[in-house]
Amino acid sequence: MAYLKHIALSTLCLAGLLLAFTPFAAAEKKTIKLAHTHQGDFASEIHTAAWIFQKWVNENSDTLEVKLYPNNALGQERDVYEGMQLGSGATCSISGTAILNNFNKQIGVLDLPFLWRGYDHVHTVLDGSVGEELAAGLQKSGFRVIAWMDSWGYRNVVTSDVEVTKPEDI
């Protein structure tokens, strides 16, 4: 009987030693659900940006993984943002700024025509104090800006006869 107790105690000690020197399984990764409205193919710059973000995070993070939900898979834009405010559905979204005007009126300034002189001007403004102020306004609504992206140009106007270079040309 004493022999069995010794074997049982030795087994428990061995198990304790094995646990002490065996790395525990990594905790389950937190999933970032990234939603957007575009088709899930590389013809879309929005989906391409989402895929690049997903690839980078999935290859470089031990605690996070990104899953993509293109083509309104988690709902229309407003539904996605309202769900994010409630902590359900998507955890991240790539979209234009017009929808965000519903949550913070200051964002509407970004959609004014003839506001930008060119892409360098956009980058200087949004990567500076103005971008920080706009991001802070969105944060009050429950959203955190990760980055400002270029997409589709800024207020494109297409005509067949007249070059549009100033408001009067319209």
Q: Which of 26-30, 118-122, 124-128, 136-140 has the lowest mean pLDDT?
A: 26-30
- pLDDT value for 119: 86
Range with top average pLDDT, 71-85, 112-126, 139-153: 71-85
* Region 20-28 average pLDDT: 55
At residue 11, does pLDDT exceed 60? Answer: no
Average confidence score pLDDT of the chain? 83
Q: Which long-range contacts (CB under 8 A, 24 or more apart) does 54-60 make?
A: 57/32
At residue 10, does pLDDT exceed 90? Answer: no
- pLDDT value for 19: 38
Residues of the chain with pLDDT > 90: what percent?
61
- For residues 77-107, one letter each, b for 16 or more C-beta atoms within 10 angstroms of the residue's C-beta and e for the rest, the string is beebbbbbeeeebbbbbbbebebbeebbeeb
Answer with the residue of higher pLDDT: 122 or 170.
122
Look at residues 64, 72, 14 and name the one whose alpha carbon lies nearest to residue 40.
72
Answer with the residue of higher pLDDT: 17 or 69.
69
The separation between CA 138 and the C-alpha centre of its own chain, rounded to angstroms, equals 14
Range with top average pLDDT, 9-13, 19-23, 125-129: 125-129
- pLDDT value for 169: 78
Q: What is d(CA 170, CA 157) in angstroms, rounded to the nearest whole number?
A: 9
Domain ranges of the chain: 30-95, 104-170
At residue 88, does pLDDT exceed 90? Answer: yes
Residue 62: strand, helix, or coil: coil
The pLDDT-based confidence of 134 (bands split at 50, 70, 90) is very high
What does the block give as tokens for 97?
Answer: 């700024």
At residue 17, does pLDDT exceed 50? Answer: no
At residue 31, does pLDDT exceed 80? Answer: yes
* Strands in 22-117 per DSSP E: 30-35, 64-69, 92-93
